[in-house]
Amino acid sequence: MKLGIVGLPNVGKSTLFNAITNAGAASANFPFCTIEPNVGVVAVPDERLDKLAAMYNPKKYTPAIIEFVDIAGLVKGASHGEGLGNKFLSHIREVDAIIHMVRCFDSTDIIHVEGSVDPIRDIETIDLELVLSDLEIVERRIDRTKKAMKGDKKLGDCLEMLERLAQWLGDGKNARGFELLNDNEKEWFYEMPLLSAKPVIYACNLSEEDVMDGIENNTYYPLVVEKAKADKSGCMPICAKIEEDVADMDKEEKREFLAEFGLTTSGLDNLIKESYTLLGLISYLTAGPEEVRAWTITRGTKAPQAAGKIHSDFERGFIRAEIIAFDDLMACGTMVAAKEKGLVRSEGKEYVMKDGDVTLFRFNV
């Protein structure tokens, strides 16, 4: 999973990126400090893997990973090449979802590129640039479809959908909210690399004082929550400064530090959880003396396709999956005890994988 962190200049993108990846991306109080996208890979925290590792004492421990991309700050006119617009937009095309960071705190020490703090205005600034870029793509597709229709009248339905979409985008609405009427429209829609169709999580950057005083007392955060609901997007509070402070701490130090702010989990953990929910992702687990590992799949994936995540031969020669729910395995203490109690199931090709399934695939090629 690749997540792009975007936002106007100086909203805290690089500070957050530094904190969650320890990659040392440049961070300074002026626009365009980040020009080339910084990329960092982080492990997905999963206590289930820790418990499996304690059970099996494996040679190898492999958590699921997320790739974070810190993308340059955007300004008005990016869709027409203003600032670093063309690079910004091309980098967004490569990510699975967008972490849209917006500043939700006042400070005289940190410059805001627009001269004042207004998270809704900032969101709309970036949304508009993505929508305008998408509109150009759709208009070009309309032109090509009209020319192709001379030899293929079946493209009429596609043209009707494209013209409807162009009108929608022309009204300043993002592609995420566009209604697709049938499977054909879904196919045509997702063939296009539309930026405003990508899932979004609004990460509201709060000050340490906001967190200490209570997030509900922040003036700006509720506005973004309402915007996210209307936009069918995710939304979560985060304090980039706190994430930066805890980045190098061990587990116990981090727990004590977060407790001072009334927090039980870090913003990174919450961000990963929100990302999995937004993208409809789950993890199944494999465990043994050689390795314990988490595998990320889309919710609704069937057993053979899940096996294919490990190796294509596993899917091609799939016979069955031997599965036990993680909680059942922990309650039994060992796989042997679980089998004696009949809790290890044999599932076939139509089985839909569940989050936390501890799985052994049987295959033959």
**Model pTM greater than 0.85?**
no
pLDDT number for residue 87: 57
**Residue of 52, 44, 90, 49 lying closest to 71 (CA atoms):** 90
**Residue of 23, 8, 3 lying closest to 84 (CA atoms):** 8
- Amino acid identity, position 108: T
Structure token digits, residue 155:
């493209």
Question: ∠ at Cα 108 (106, 109), nearest 5°?
Answer: 110
The residue whose two tokens read 């982080």 is: 42
> What kind and span of H or E run contains 163?
helix 156-170
Name the stretches of the chain with pLDDT < 50: 23-35, 78-79, 81-85
The β-bridge relationship of strands 97-103 and 2-6 is parallel
**Residue of 42, 55, 48, 31 lying closest to 111 (CA atoms):** 31
Residue-wise DSSP of 341-358: TT--EEE-TTPBP-TTEE
Residue-wise DSSP of 124-156: HHHHHHHHHHHHHHHHHHHHHHHHHTTT-GGGH
**Residue of 38, 27, 23, 24 lying closest to 70 (CA atoms):** 38
pLDDT number for residue 72: 64
Task: Compute the distance between CA of residue 307 and CA of residue 359 in angstroms, rounded to an integer.
Answer: 9
Tens digits of per-residue pLDDT, 23-81?
Answer: 444 443 333 334 455 777 888 888 999 999 999 999 999 988 888 888 765 555 544 54
> What kind and span of H or E run contains 232?
none
